[in-house]
């Protein structure tokens, strides 16, 4: 998508909304082809490692699978944390909107022809979007590389709380730096994305711990519904991010029908309210979300000695039941 912003205008001569449609269609096709090829490869690599003995028949009056999920307090706290952290998706979802309406990086537009102005604006959008993508990738994936080493010494709960504090502070620093200082914002955007990588790694592991706790206390393990909860939180987070972007368009009274879609809008001509409103989508909005998501973690107690006890007792219980886990 970022490369297409530089290439498509010169190849197709398109601009404005028509150019954006072509960019999205092209990247959708490329992503779907690559994604399907990667998915097919798993057929040759994945194998079953766990041999589970046939479970006993359910007795009348036993709680349903859904009830077990809702009564598992640690799992519900992880789900609530994930929902409150939905703002972390804003760094990626809102980047293109901020690139269009908050920042301009490039040569002076004074005296340029309409064609030259269009090309300069598209180059600015692509550059801003590219830099944001690199910054978020460094912060997010950098954290994902470090987390596996940290979890041997630090609890999941502490990792989330500390990283969210870092993200919250960095987001507010970004907001106060402002949209007029693009390059000064980038290091703090990078730091703001650290919690994204931490939560992505740790939340899945926490769901596994919660299912262990459920299996030990109830004798039943709901892997399908437990993983579905994680998938639901991720999808809801993306939906919330999109909704907040639409809401910001309404709050800032940014009406594309009035502006026009046949050309690329010059952000320098936009009002301060619109530019700061859009800028807040990658600064103060996700920062508040990261602050809120820490609250459920203060009630999450499946850590330390309790977690080790659950793991040990569950392993002994599985051996007695005849469960075999191969390498």
Asked if 278 and 129 count as a contact pair (C-beta separation under 8 A), the reply is: no
pLDDT, tens only, 132-157: 888 998 999 888 888 888 888 888 89
pLDDT confidence of 325, banded at 50, 70, 90?
low
CA proximity to 314, closest of 223, 214, 191: 214
Q: How far is CA 275 from the centre of its chain?
A: 23
Which token pair is 97?
């909107």
Asked if 5 and 16 count as a contact pair (C-beta separation under 8 A), the reply is: no
Q: Residue 99 has what pLDDT?
A: 87
CA distance 109 to 114: 10
pLDDT at residue 316 greater than cutoff 90: no
N-terminal to C-terminal alpha carbon distance within the chain: 41
CA distance 196 to 51: 34
Looking at domain 48-325, its CATH class is: mainly alpha
Asked if 282 and 101 count as a contact pair (C-beta separation under 8 A), the reply is: no
Q: Residue 177 has what pLDDT?
A: 92
Q: Residue 299 has what pLDDT?
A: 92
CA distance 82 to 327: 32
Query: Whole-number mean pLDDT of the chain?
Result: 84
Its sign, for the CA torsion 68, 73, 76, 78, is negative
Q: Residue 19 has what pLDDT?
A: 72
Q: How far is CA 100 from the centre of its chain?
A: 21
Asked if 210 and 218 count as a contact pair (C-beta separation under 8 A), the reply is: no
- pTM for the structure as a whole: 0.79
Beta strands in the chain (DSSP E): 50-51, 324-325
What angle (nearest 5°) sits at the alpha carbon of residue 158, between those of residues 156 and 160? 70
pLDDT, tens only, 82-101: 999 998 888 888 888 888 88
pLDDT, tens only, 241-284: 889 988 998 888 877 665 555 567 888 888 888 889 999 999 99
């Amino acid at each position: 998508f970022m490369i297409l912003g530089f290439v498509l205008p010169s190849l197709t001569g398109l601009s404005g909304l028509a150019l954006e449609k072509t960019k999205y269609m092209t990247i959708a096709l490329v992503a779907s082809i690559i994604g399907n090829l990667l998915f097919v490869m798993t057929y040759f690599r994945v194998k079953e490692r766990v041999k589970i003995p046939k479970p006993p028949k359910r007795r009348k009056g036993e709680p349903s699978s859904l009830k077990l999920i809702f009564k598992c307090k640690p799992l519900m706290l992880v789900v609530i944390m994930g929902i409150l952290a939905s703002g972390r998706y804003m760094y990626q979802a809102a980047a293109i909107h901020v690139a269009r309406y908050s920042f301009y990086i490039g040569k002076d537009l004074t005296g340029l022809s309409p064609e030259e102005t269009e090309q300069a604006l598209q180059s600015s959008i692509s550059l801003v979007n590219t830099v944001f993508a690199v910054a978020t990738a460094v912060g997010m994936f950098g954290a994902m590389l470090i987390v596996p080493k940290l979890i041997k010494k630090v609890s999941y709960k502490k990792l989330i709380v500390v990283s969210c504090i870092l993200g919250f502070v960095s987001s507010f620093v970004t907001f106060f730096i402002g949209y007029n200082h693009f390059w000064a914002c980038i290091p703090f955007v990078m730091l703001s994305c650290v919690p994204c990588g931490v939560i992505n790694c740790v939340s899945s592991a926490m769901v596994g711990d919660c299912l262990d706790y459920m299996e030990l206390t109830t004798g039943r393990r709901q892997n399908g519904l437990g993983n579905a909860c994680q998938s639901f939180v991720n999808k809801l987070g993306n939906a919330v991010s999109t909704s907040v972007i639409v809401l910001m368009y309404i709050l800032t009274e940014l009406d594309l029908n009035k502006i026009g879609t046949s050309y690329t809008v010059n952000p320098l001509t936009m009002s301060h309210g619109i530019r700061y409103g859009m800028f807040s989508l990658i600064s103060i909005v996700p920062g508040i979300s990261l602050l809120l998501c820490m609250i459920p973690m203060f009630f999450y107690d499946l850590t330390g000695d309790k977690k080790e006890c659950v793991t040990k007792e569950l392993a002994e219980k599985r051996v007695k039941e005849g469960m075999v886990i191969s390498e």
